[in-house]
Amino acid sequence: MLERINFPADLRRLELEALPALCAELREFLLDSVSNGGGHFSSNLGTVELTVALHYAFDTPQDKLVWDVGHQAYPHKILTGRRDLMDSIRQKDGLAGFPKRSESEYDTFGVGHSSTSISAALGMALAAQQKGEDYHSIAIIGDGAMTAGMAYEALNHAGDLDANLIVVLNDNEMSISPNVGALRKYLTRLLSGRMYSSMRESGKKALSHSKSLSKLVKLTEEHMKGMVLPGTLFEEMGFKYYGPIDGHDVEELVHVLENLKQIKGPRLLHILTQKGKGYEPAEEDPCAYHGVTPFNLKTGLVSSSKKSTPTYTQVFGQWLCDMAAQDKRLVGITPAMREGSGLVAFSEQFPQRYFDVGIAEQHAVTLAAGLACEGLKPVVAIYSTFLQRAYDQLLHDVAIQNLPVVFAVDRAGLVGADGPTHSGNYDLSFLRCVPNMVVMAPADENECRQMLYTAFQLDCPTAVRYPRGKGTGIEPHTEMQAMPVGKAVKVRNGGNSIAILLFGSLLAEARAAAEELDATLVNMRFVKPLDKTILRELAQSHELLVTLEDNAVMGGAGSAVNEYLHEAGLAVEVMNLGLPDVYIEHAQREEQLAACGLDALGIVEKVRSGYGGRIHIGLSLCPVPQYVAN
Ligand SMILES: Cc1ncc(C[n+]2csc(CCOP(=O)(O)OP(=O)(O)O)c2C)c(N)n1
Ligand SMILES: CC(=O)[C@@H](O)[C@H](O)COP(=O)(O)O
Ligand SMILES: [Mg+2]
């Protein structure tokens, strides 16, 4: 059946009774495609019935479905003309891993970061009013995403308006890891026991008798009244609350959605689903299957990688445990990224000093500020892209008060398959302009550990930013030693034409390029404060300084070098290599780097083409090296 569904209009031609079989096929398709190609898994298995029901009940794309985060929108992609492209998802030139407006008219809003759906859908609902149109706007948001302040800002606004807005709360009692917070407990109470099952029964009875339109509307009203729980949080906020209902009963979902369409104003439908539904290993451990690399569907095993050197994330996780054992003042904070940020061991070894605050980056940072005010030493483990959410808190609550908070900024630079929404390309630019901050970028795993230790010793806000995945492959030293702040280290002495100033993780690429160009290579280590002494020395002894970073060139570490050279009146040619002023589409990280000319070959070519005729460049006796991925 699935083969005949190219667009939702085909789906809407099916009998209602055919939908369960279609859902089974869709789930099979998903199992096959994600186990082969990798991607987000558990959440998509949980939204199969919901997706079918939404496209069946609503007139998409005229009616607007707005998916929150978008990691659960694979069934939506499959039903909206992209089924045959699913094996390309998250790969270079393939489908994006999240809804994307440029990809399909059914993707009404670009996503990747969480908790934006209610605001965006409300915007669309208000636009309908302004334009005199009457389409529906439906936000589909998970219980994890509902832990973010933004969701409540939107509810607060919407509940005060008469907008044609439906919010579907897809509650699977999981964020990536088990969901946290008082709201989780509240939702569990709503889902619990008799209340849920008795409403399901009454709902089914009322809806199964709905025949004529007038009868349907009457029954709908009666039934919906029965489903409303007066006094729920959502009711208090001006929403009509319906549910909870079983989010895997596709026919019931269609009935309820059809009926919800007849009602006016802000409505919230609470559905209960299971993350990983239909694949036993994922049902048992939805967290392990949240996002997967290709794996064997029969055994559930993910193919193991060749080398077992630690990732930067693991280096951080180990350091955090070691540091916590040494210093009781250390507390660790994550905004809902326990696994991704490498905090599992810490959470188990130091449960009293571990805080998962939910998807609440802003709160995470101000919480850290409060803890630091009282003499504790908070470490905020956060992805670069999600730290963007908490910029004001970092500046206003931490940095102005010069509080010693350590920001362990993971996924800095290009991140590969998640694409532009998740790239950490801007942190050096937005951190280095904040007074009081010390900003470090390790070139290898050991340096990462030593920098974290250094950061922890300092009495000011600090950031250590490191990339996704593995680095050079070296094992960090067990001992920890504070590094001299603002001091660079020379890696290679070259001829006196070119000096490459490396900021961060592109050490292998920089080394290979330096060999090829016979360039001096300096690992700058600190983006702030800069090692001005070495900059002066290099500017006076070399013809060309090449700055290299996996951050946006605009405002990044290279810009810091330019500012200093200008201020010091040092006349030397400078070439800034880093990420261009465009969004880099999803691909493997190595492919993205190559596309930006930040692999060894690209660096050499840029230097040669930019300065080949103007300065003396070291003669190469060997061919330009190809970049070899770790
Ligand atoms: C602002 C932001 N912080 C963190 C994340 C990482 N993240 C992606 S999905 C997710 C969990 C979302 O939980 P929920 O909304 O319940 O959806 P489910 O995974 O259960 O389907 C998190 C924390 C994100 N995408 N955006
Ligand atoms: C959707 C989302 O935001 C996360 O699931 C993210 O994709 C995780 O990224 P990592 O795989 O880098 O941890
Ligand atoms: Mg959830």
Q: What is the rounded CA–CA span in Å between residue 61 and residue 119? A: 19
Percent pLDDT > 70 in the chain is 90
Residue 324 phi, psi (nearest 5): -65, -35
Q: What pLDDT, on a 0 to 100 scale, did the predictor assign at position 420?
A: 98
Q: What pLDDT, on a 0 to 100 scale, did the predictor assign at position 615?
A: 66
Q: What is the rounded CA–CA span in Å between residue 351 and residue 300? A: 30
Q: What is the rounded CA–CA span in Å between residue 472 and residue 494? A: 22
pLDDT > 50? residue 622:
no
CB atoms within 10 A of CB 366: 18
Q: What pLDDT, on a 0 to 100 scale, did the predictor assign at position 218?
A: 54
**Does residue 414 have its Cβ closer than 6 Å to ligand 1?**
no
**Does residue 291 have its Cβ closer than 6 Å to ligand 2?**
yes
Strands 489-492 and 520-523: antiparallel
**Does residue 113 have its Cβ closer than 6 Å to ligand 1?**
yes
Known binding-site residues for Mg(2+) equal 143, 172
Asked if 67 and 114 touch (Cβ cutoff 8 Å), the reply is no
Least confident of 395-399, 408-412, 495-499: 495-499
Tell me the mean pLDDT in the region 478-497.
96
Give the angle subtended at the CA of 163 by the CAs of 263 and 77, to the nearest 5°: 85
Q: What is the pLDDT of residues 584-620, one digit of tens each?
A: 999 999 999 999 999 999 999 999 998 876 665 644 3
CB atoms within 10 A of CB 538: 24
Q: How confident is the model at residue 225 (pLDDT cuts 50, 70, 90)?
A: low
Please name every residue paired with 381 in a beta bridge, in sequence order, or none if there are none: 408
Tell me which of 359, 387, 391 to substitute to probe ligand 1's pocket, judged by most ligand atoms within 8 Å of the beta carbon: 359
Known binding-site residues equal 71, 112-114, 143-145, 172, 279, 361
**Does residue 175 have its Cβ closer than 6 Å to ligand 1?**
yes
**Does residue 172 have its Cβ closer than 6 Å to ligand 1?**
yes
Q: How confident is the model at residue 366 (pLDDT cuts 50, 70, 90)?
A: very high
* Most distant pair of Cα atoms in the chain: their distance: 88
Q: What is the pLDDT of residues 186-201, one digit of tens each?
A: 888 877 753 454 455 5
Which ligand 1 atom sits nearest the alpha carbon of residue 71?
9
Predicted complex ipTM exceeds 0.90: yes
List, in order of start, the domains of the chain with CATH numbers: 19-175+238-292 (3.40.50.970), 312-465 (3.40.50.970), 489-612 (3.40.50.920)
Please name which of 466, 486, 331 lies closest in space to residue 406, comparing C-alpha atoms.
331
Q: What pLDDT, on a 0 to 100 scale, did the predictor assign at position 226?
A: 52
**Does residue 449 have its Cβ closer than 6 Å to ligand 1?**
no
Percent pLDDT > 90 in the chain is 85
Q: What pLDDT, on a 0 to 100 scale, did the predictor assign at position 619?
A: 40
pLDDT > 90? residue 247:
yes
Q: What pLDDT, on a 0 to 100 scale, did the predictor assign at position 188?
A: 81
Residue closest via CA to ligand 1's atom 4 equals 359
Distance 143 CA to ligand 3 centre (A): 5
Q: Return the HEC string of 411-469.
A: CCECCCCCHHHCCECCHHHHHHCCCCCEEECCCCHHHHHHHHHHHHHCCCCEEEECCCC
Looking at per-residue confidence, does 231 or 566 come out higher?
566
Tell me which of 422, 468, 588, 589 to substitute to probe ligand 2's pocket, judged by most ligand atoms within 8 Å of the beta carbon: 422
pLDDT > 80? residue 573:
yes
Please name which of 471, 463, 323 lies closest in space to residue 384, comparing C-alpha atoms.
463
Q: Which residues contact 613 (CB under 8 A, 6 or more apart)?
A: none
Q: What is the pLDDT of residues 516-533, one digit of tens each?
A: 999 999 999 999 999 999
Please name which of 463, 466, 403 lies closest in space to residue 433, comparing C-alpha atoms.
463
Q: What is the pLDDT of residues 75-114, one digit of tens each?
A: 999 999 999 999 999 999 999 999 999 999 999 999 999 9
Burial of 89 (0-12, 13-18, 19+ CB in 10 A): buried
Residue closest via CA to ligand 2's atom 10 equals 340
Q: What pLDDT, on a 0 to 100 scale, did the predictor assign at position 124?
A: 98
DSSP state of 527: E
CB atoms within 10 A of CB 391: 17
H/E element, 35: helix 19-37
Q: What is the rounded CA–CA span in Å between residue 527 and residue 560? A: 8
Distance 71 CA to ligand 2 centre (A): 9
Q: Tell me the two tokens of residue 256.
A: 């309820």
Q: What pLDDT, on a 0 to 100 scale, did the predictor assign at position 232?
A: 80
Q: Which residues contact 475 (CB under 8 A, 6 or more apart)?
A: 309, 310, 445, 446
Looking at per-residue confidence, does 300 or 53 come out higher?
53
Q: Which residues are catalytic?
A: 275, 361, 389
Which ligand 1 atom sits nearest the alpha carbon of residue 336?
23
Q: What pLDDT, on a 0 to 100 scale, did the predictor assign at position 190?
A: 78
Residue closest via CA to ligand 2's atom 13 equals 340
Q: How confident is the model at residue 403 (pLDDT cuts 50, 70, 90)?
A: very high
CB atoms within 10 A of CB 222: 12
Q: What pLDDT, on a 0 to 100 scale, did the predictor assign at position 183?
A: 87
pLDDT > 60? residue 433:
yes
Asked if 83 and 159 touch (Cβ cutoff 8 Å), the reply is no
Ligand nearest to C-alpha 44 = 1
What long-range pairs does 222-229 form, CB within 8 A, spacing at least 24? 223/259, 224/259, 224/260, 224/263, 226/199, 226/202, 227/199, 227/202, 227/203, 229/190, 229/195
Distance 173 CA to ligand 3 centre (A): 5
Q: What pLDDT, on a 0 to 100 scale, did the predictor assign at position 227?
A: 55
Q: What pLDDT, on a 0 to 100 scale, did the predictor assign at position 243?
A: 87
Asked if 164 and 266 touch (Cβ cutoff 8 Å), the reply is no
Ligand nearest to C-alpha 114 = 1
What region does 325 belong to: left with phi over 0, alpha with psi -120 to 50, or beta? alpha
Distance 41 CA to ligand 2 centre (A): 11
Residue type, 286: P
Asked if 468 and 497 touch (Cβ cutoff 8 Å), the reply is no
Least confident of 144-158, 210-224, 309-323: 210-224
Strands 330-334 and 377-383: parallel
**Does residue 338 have its Cβ closer than 6 Å to ligand 2?**
no
Q: What pLDDT, on a 0 to 100 scale, did the predictor assign at position 93?
A: 97
pLDDT > 90? residue 305:
no
Q: How confident is the model at residue 210 (pLDDT cuts 50, 70, 90)?
A: very low
Strands 39-40 and 291-292: antiparallel
**Does residue 252 have its Cβ closer than 6 Å to ligand 2?**
no
Q: Looking up tokens 């840029």, which residue turns up?
A: 606
Tell me which of 71, 76, 114, 270 to substitute to probe ligand 1's pocket, judged by most ligand atoms within 8 Å of the beta carbon: 114
**Does residue 422 have its Cβ closer than 6 Å to ligand 1?**
no
Q: What pLDDT, on a 0 to 100 scale, did the predictor assign at position 162?
A: 83
Strands 520-523 and 526-528: unpaired
Q: What pLDDT, on a 0 to 100 scale, did the predictor assign at position 231?
A: 62
- Crossing angle of helices 312-326/445-457, nearest 10°? 40
**Which pTM does this prediction carry?**
0.93
Residue type, 321: C
| DSSP-based three-state secondary structure for 504 | coil
Please name every residue paired with 142 in a beta bridge, in sequence order, or none if there are none: 170
Distance 116 CA to ligand 1 centre (A): 11
